[in-house]
Homo-oligomer: A and B are copies of this chain.
């Protein structure tokens, strides 16, 4: 069954407090050489049957309207076999 993966990340210009907290923890734990951490969401959507163009378009719409907040987030969508 095909799977659609949607990654939702805060836009680069939006401050990311969760990523910042992880970056701080890395520093406290002595993990060097890391200049930035950004944290986002990952959705794995399992498709039942064929992934038609119409279905893919619908999932694109959901990624934009339901899974992300386009004011502050951008999404990346890809189909995995």
Contacts and interface: CB of A to CB of B under 8 A. Distances in A.
Most B-side CB within 10 Å, residue of A26, A33, A48: A33
Interface of A: 1, 7, 9, 19, 22, 25-26, 29, 31-49, 51-52, 55, 58-59, 62, 66-67
Contact of A42 (B9, B29, B31): B9
Nearest to A43: B39
A36 B46 contact: yes
Most B-side CB within 10 Å, residue of A38, A49, A52: A38
Contacts of A46: 34-37
Contact of A62 (B9, B31, B49): B31
24 contacts: A1-B35, A7-B42, A19-B43, A19-B44, A22-B66, A25-B66, A31-B58, A33-B47, A33-B48, A33-B49, A33-B52, A33-B55, A34-B45, A35-B46, A35-B47, A36-B44, A37-B43, A37-B45, A39-B44, A40-B41, A40-B42, A40-B43, A40-B44, A41-B41
